[in-house]
């Protein structure tokens, strides 16, 4: 089951699933959702809970960022471009780019995706923050 999920399976049902449940699962997965049977979900939760917590960047790294760099990293988390960040913070695009680039270097990220992860793991932003 874990290998199937890692390989991209959108769901997992046990072989005793009835036809109606299989049809419902197919529709859900085709619509972009995921589905696990309740017994499978229990195994996934148990396996996840048994794993050690991942080590992430230290929130102390936030101390290396200026206030403006912190302001810039939060909109990056929301997927905003440098142009959109500049508009939101009322700064030039070049200034937004400079702050984003400096924040990138300070947190050891090479592109936006690691900055987003950094912002989450250090608590700078949370889910659905805008």
Same domain, 46 and 63: no
Q: Digits of tens for pLDDT over the chain (130 positions)?
A: 778 777 778 888 888 999 999 998 898 888 878 888 888 878 877 877 787 765 555 555 566 778 888 787 777 766 778 888 888 889 998 898 888 888 777 766 655 555 555 566 666 555 544 4
Can you give the pLDDT at residue 41? 79
Does some domain include residue 103? yes
96 contacts 72 by C-beta, under 8 angstroms: yes
Same domain, 116 and 66: yes
Q: What is the CATH number of the domain that holds 78?
A: 1.10.10.10
Does some domain include residue 64? yes
Same domain, 36 and 79: no
- Write out the residue range of the structural domain in which residue 29 sits: 2-50
Same domain, 46 and 89: no
Contacts of residues 94-100 at CB distance under 8 Å and 24 or more positions apart, as own/partner, are: 96/72, 99/66, 99/68, 99/69, 99/71, 99/72, 100/72, 100/73, 100/76
Does some domain include residue 130? no
Q: CA separation (Å) from 120 to 30, 58, 67, 89, 112?
A: 30, 11, 17, 21, 13
Does some domain include residue 128? no
Does some domain include residue 89? yes
* Domains in the chain, number: 2
Can you give the pLDDT at residue 50? 80
Q: Provide the CB-side half-sphere exposure for 115 (13 A, CA).
A: 24
Does some domain include residue 80? yes
Burial class (CB in 10 A: 0-12, 13-18, 19+), 107: buried
Question: What pLDDT digit, counting tens, does each position of 70-102 carry?
Answer: 787 777 766 778 888 888 889 998 898 888 888
Q: Interhelix angle for 93-107 vs 112-121, to 10°? A: 70
Same domain, 72 and 29: no
């Amino acid at each position: 089951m874990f290998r199937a999920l890692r390989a991209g399976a959108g769901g997992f049902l046990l072989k005793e699933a009835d036809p109606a449940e299989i049809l419902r699962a197919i529709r859900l997965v085709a619509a972009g959702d995921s589905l696990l049977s309740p017994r499978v979900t229990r195994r996934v939760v148990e396996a996840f809970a048994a794993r050690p917590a991942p080590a992430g960047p230290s929130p102390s790294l936030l101390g290396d960022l200026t206030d403006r760099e912190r302001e810039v990293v939060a909109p990056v988390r929301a997927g905003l471009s440098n142009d959109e960040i500049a508009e939101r913070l009322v700064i030039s695009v070049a200034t937004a780019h400079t702050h984003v680039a400096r924040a990138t270097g300070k947190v050891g990220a090479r592109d936006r995706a690691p900055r987003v992860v950094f912002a989450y793991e250090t608590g700078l932003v949370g889910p659905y923050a805008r």
